[in-house]
Structure 1
């Protein structure tokens, strides 16, 4: 094993200092379980950035307060009815976990903490329900001290800002996007490599979105740029379907044996040259490029051949790509100004839900947590086990803490193994060292070796879960038992409760909650189809098209992670997701154009209904009616291209959207026969 680095040592030393400060204050004001404060200081600091620590601290405080309030309300009323109280706390933990899993941002920590805090406070208090308020208050004070002290130390002592990480990730995403776009416009690079780059870009965008949630809590100037960073993420996300559409139109022209006309080739080359200048690219050049693209795009009408329709679609998507990249450049400059203390007003951003939500998995996780708690409590009640509360508490914590994983069992099992490994360390401290310590200075010195080494190793990704499991095993033993009066019998009983709760969590999770990576990927794909069904079947256009794009990209990133673990590798599911993203963007555009084209409204509506049926069939595992769907799309395209009048912009938008949908679902189909004649379909 490599020796501890200076950076790891600094991180561990700061964490230890925050933990000791919390422990010292807890002893000074006479709190009953001071080691809760120390353990909390380590729980809060799972990432080295000050912004992440401060955001997690705020969420943990809010969750602890909410969970304590619920406990104070439930325990006095239900303490005389053990079954009812078990059910109430299990229901509370499950409901909070359900909401937390739907959030999928650091804010979800509020709800997760609110759930298992009720178990941590409520179960040990069943024998003294009249003292529940004092117990809850003491626990909030202990946890609050740990949170505040850890945040204070990491914010003051050589704080590590999140700005370098966010900006590095942001620039890396932009660089990867430029390389991908340049390859597309130049026609270089093989298709499998471009597909991998595209899927990786989707995953990077999601990771950047999650990382940037810590920006408002950071200690540097980057906190003033939070809105600009979010807006830039939206614009980068918009590049993906646009670039994919440009690539598809170029591929369609090549497959049809239609060379790209010289003016369009010149526009493509100019856009590529602009992109390749990187961060030195001038946003003002976008106007000239946009003009060149518009001038090289043929006008379309009722007699336009399929080649001109493809070129019109290519030109429209290329123009939108130039606009989106220009916005990225402007926002990047605004962020740079903000980092130097001169933030500018960011571009307007429409809020909306941006991340995928799996209600089924969230419900299964909630049920698993409730069942594990109930099993532990049933054994506790039936056997009158002295430390049965510890088992129920640990079941609540471990069912909640790892619920974001498809298969939490290996992680819980690792915690169980290393908690067992921590027992000798805990025994030495509780039974030999701490009873002989009579000053805080000696206490800190005796704890330092174990806490420092494990804290440093916990910052290494490869050892993080093992080091944290060992450290938490020791700190949990110190927190749950009286460090001054503990004896061998009470220690063994307490450790059995702790291990029993973790084992129950692993067993119930394995039986009720675990899903394979293949099944998770299929669920994500089904969620795409449900959303496309809703988009196509909606009576009015969605208010937030950017939210749809962000969710689809998030799902592509989630698929990327899961398909890497499956036997089918990157195959058809990932490609379908990218196709669904492009088709969904075109459905949104078609819905917006439909309201401004009353003459073709019925034909467009018929095509949208057919699209909804297409994705319903895919959800049900049936073969979609390909011939009928293609005929409806071609009929709508014929109606729209035959339109004349003032709504030219809406007509062109509908043409481009219908071509995109047709190419997405039927890439091998030839030119539509009805387009040139303008003959409507029934």
Structure 2
């Protein structure tokens, strides 16, 4: 063999090994998932046939719906599917008992139930939503086929619970026993990676080398991770007892990390405003403290933060925090020697107050992260849960769409007496339920219709030209496997999930043989025609009846986002910080996903989040300072600075309820008045306070003022005129 040919073959072998490694990293998990889907589906079908259940395909469909790449997701989804199935079956039996053979009352009552369940699914967007979806369409799937035979309703509900229970049992067993993929491992990996990414963003921002778009994109990522980690945490409780014992610390870590990012965003945006104003003297005074923080964070950039690293970070932050107070005193003395103006001195105090609070929040986060190494820890005691917010109009729109589809198609079925009308109504209800919680129900329903159409052609060929010629369960599995592999592969890709679900679920619904198989082309074609028509009606309803990806919803969510400032002003102080942080991010996460494909809208929403977090967080800190500051009872209500802060709160509430030039001007005047009242606090009142308390109050008020004057915030359009700092 020539040296050239030998070298060429070695190069080809190296390329093959690289391709194999890439496949193992990217698609290896997908193919393991597909193998587990096939194994669980065929085992369930075999058991259902051996047990002579009426509809083995129902048990198989349960596998397709429940199966997920990670075992924790399978456990969580199975748990809520059981609850939803029991609730839906019980409601169906109740409705059938109340309205036997009375379709005029049964159908509207069923539509009301399905609508309420769809609204609940939109309200709870984790796996709890799946329980609501199942409660809705289980009642329809069990009740509609036996509408004319109410005496069979209870038996139909029992059979359905048994079939679904079999599918859930096999799915969980296969997921846990065959090459299990743990959700807790994914949670740990996400926790360890998150701080390294944040450290990189912080170091770049402190050095002034981070552009605005990249900074906004990083914050959107942190928002998505905060929402996703809460979902992962609730899932790991089903599979890992070690993570379940750390559940309180995981909630605490998520809350503390949100506080860290909010505090850093406030510090960064204040520094950017100072740089834009050309405040050279202030920037020079702040530089030593920021440089020390940059040096501290730099070793953690793009590194996994393990429990040992978190402990080391805790010690470094404690030392830095102690040295920061001495450093600030020295820097302040040098700064005062340069005879700064009152506004420059306020900028100096505000910047270092934010820096100190940021270090304090980061220290608490590192402590909680380090505590994960212990099986039990005092930091597990955390009573501030993650708060998810959903606009009630969004939930109501999902419920109205589902109820309208069921009423429309059910009425058509009863009036036309079409034999496949029950299948059309049934599948439309299932489609409406499965697509209710998706960001774009119209797209999801249309993709499912396309997948079902492809499954109809394949199913017709296999049912009438293949099934009659095969003998035995092994050959049946061999014939069905290619369709299921294609469907599972498409379902594992988020962009094509609707096609995969349509192919898997509804191919099994119409083409997988039951224990008693009837080869009737007329019924087969009509049933698939009813399925596709029902899905297309769902797609049309998603595009016509209050579509969730339309402008009206972005405006409502933006309004809810602004209302978080009112929540900061009037909410109960205990747990207010965590509820404010999680609620704000949850609203942005919803709105950002619904505005996909519209970058200008998404950027505007992110900017609203920044200004809401800045001002809302400052308001909460002001309220804490007022609540904790010692004060003589005789002066509690009569102090002018407290009254001025209350007036400022009312002005800010009006501004965020209705942003306008006049409300913006009133808010600025109120903030200026509050600052002047704090500065003018006379000796009889001031002696009841620690001087640092009044300085912190003044710093937060000044930060609110600078945020209102930020030319890059959404409030800039309402300013009307440029104000001097």
State the TM-score, normalizing by the size of structure 2: 0.85
Partners of 2:563 and 2:325 lie apart in 1 by 36
Partner residue in 2 for 1:28 = 50
Query: Matched residue pairs, number?
Result: 661
SS in 2 for 1:351: coil
Q: Which of residues 320, 345, 350 in structure 1 aligns to 2:357? A: 320
Residues 282-291 or 200-209, more deviating: 200-209
Contact 2:420 2:530 in 1 (8 A): yes
Cα–Cα, structure 1 residues 311 and 366, in superposed 2: closer, same or farther, change >3 Å?
A: same
- Residue 603 in 1 paired to residue 644 in 2? yes
SS in 2 for 1:489: helix
Partner residue in 2 for 1:678 = none
Residues 396-405 or 32-41, more deviating: 396-405
1:370-409, aligned counterparts within 5 Å?
370-409=403-442
Partner residue in 2 for 1:422 = 455
Cα–Cα, structure 1 residues 360 and 623, in superposed 2: closer, same or farther, change >3 Å?
A: farther
Partners of 1:646 and 1:434 lie apart in 2 by 89
Contact 1:98 1:366 in 2 (8 A): yes
Contact 1:200 1:560 in 2 (8 A): no
Partner residue in 1 for 2:606 = 574
What is the CA distance between 1:134 and its match in structure 2?
0.8
Q: Which of residues 210, 213, 216 in structure 2 aligns to 1:195? A: 216
RMSD: 2.9
State the TM-score, normalizing by the size of structure 1: 0.90
- Residue 651 in 1 paired to residue 694 in 2? yes
Partners of 1:451 and 1:193 lie apart in 2 by 41
- Residue 488 in 1 paired to residue 521 in 2? yes
Partners of 1:316 and 1:441 lie apart in 2 by 71
- Residue 593 in 1 paired to residue 620 in 2? no
Cα–Cα, structure 1 residues 641 and 116, in superposed 2: closer, same or farther, change >3 Å?
A: farther
- Residue 206 in 1 paired to residue 248 in 2? no
- Residue 529 in 1 paired to residue 567 in 2? no
- Residue 412 in 1 paired to residue 445 in 2? yes
1:54-203, aligned counterparts within 5 Å?
54-203=75-224
Contact 1:356 1:551 in 2 (8 A): yes
- Residue 289 in 1 paired to residue 310 in 2? no
Partners of 1:534 and 1:323 lie apart in 2 by 24
Residues 258-267 or 374-383, more deviating: 258-267
What is the CA distance between 1:262 and its match in structure 2?
6.8
SS in 1 for 2:383: coil
What is the CA distance between 1:123 and its match in structure 2?
0.8
1:34-45, aligned counterparts within 5 Å?
34-45=56-67
Residues 81-90 or 396-405, more deviating: 396-405
Partners of 1:60 and 1:608 lie apart in 2 by 46
Contact 2:30 2:69 in 1 (8 A): no
Deviation string 1:375-420 (CA, Å, 9 cap, x unpaired) is: 1111111011222221111121111211233432122112112211
Stretches of structure 2 lacking an aligned partner (at least 5 in a row)? 1-19, 712-721
Cα–Cα, structure 1 residues 184 and 642, in superposed 2: closer, same or farther, change >3 Å?
A: farther
Contact 1:36 1:479 in 2 (8 A): no
Stretches of structure 1 lacking an aligned partner (at least 5 in a row)? 673-682
Contact 1:204 1:557 in 2 (8 A): no
What is the CA distance between 1:427 and its match in structure 2?
2.1
Partner residue in 2 for 1:625 = 663
Partner residue in 2 for 1:454 = 487
